[in-house]
Amino acid sequence: MEQVKFKDLGLIDYQTAWDYQTELHKQVVDRKLENRQRKKDGQPTLSLLHHLLFCEHPPVYTLGKSGSLDHLLLKEEELSDGGFTFYKINRGGDITYHGPGQIVGYPILDLDGFFNDVHKYVRYLEEAVIRTLADFGIEAGREEGYTGVWLPEMDTQPKRKICAIGVHLSRWVTMHGFAFNVNTQLQHFENIIPCGIQEEDKAVTSMAKELGRPMDLSLVKEKLRQHFAQLFGFGFE
């Protein structure tokens, strides 16, 4: 069974977390390359390295490499006046918001230890969130043609996205991950076209909005952590 180092970084600046991710990603790739050389030399290989980071960020908008800057609806001075930062980053996907009350997850996994399938990896990220929501009585699933986790249309409510996903892989080692709206300030999504989705029958939501009460973030994190371990079949160091 693969072992994963888990760390909750708490509230952390986006750039600081990105730099930390990059450092860990390099360590995982370096271990992979070292093992390849060890195999050639007939030496025993070392265990693979894996990390799972949870955190929250101060209010920030991030734009993926396939996104459009037109989906940011604020000017530069409006960003700073509103207390927001903005980054263009190397994950897939379009623009999204991160802020307090949101669980941002950064799995840095060497998929050689699990499976070499990007589509399956994204489905597993979604499934961990879907199962966590079910623990709290929220029915969620997927929306054809889109990534992320969605709540079904009901009554006067449109389909609602509760978790965005954007990943980057290099040498089958993952970076970036997901943003799960728990107690997130949803009005901050009004400053962007979230994930570039402009359809009127789609919106953004959070657990707090759906259940009508603020959630215990630590409890949601623990449920989510458990589902990750069960799905991928790993243990925590």
**What is the token pair recorded at 220?**
């949601």
DSSP 152: P
Decide if 163 is catalytic.
no
- CA-to-CA distance for 90 and 93, rounded, in angstroms? 9
- CA-to-CA distance for 121 and 173, rounded, in angstroms? 11
Tell the residue number behind the tokens 């980054």, with chain if given. 87
Q: Which of 142, 192, 179, 164 is nearest to 53 (CA)?
A: 179
Distance of CA 91 to the CA centre of its chain: 10
**What is the token pair recorded at 140?**
């969620």
Parallel, antiparallel, or unpaired for β 235-236 and 51-56?
A: unpaired
- CA-to-CA distance for 70 and 72, rounded, in angstroms? 5
Strand partners, 103: 180
Q: Which of 48, 104, 195, 224 is catalytic?
A: 195
- The span from the first CA to the last CA of the chain, in angstroms, equals 11
**What is the token pair recorded at 163?**
């978790």
Question: Can you give the three-state secondary structure of 194-219, one letter per residue?
Answer: HHHCCCCCEEECCHHHHHCCCCCHHH
Distance of CA 146 to the CA centre of its chain: 15
**Which residues are part of the catalytic machinery?**
195
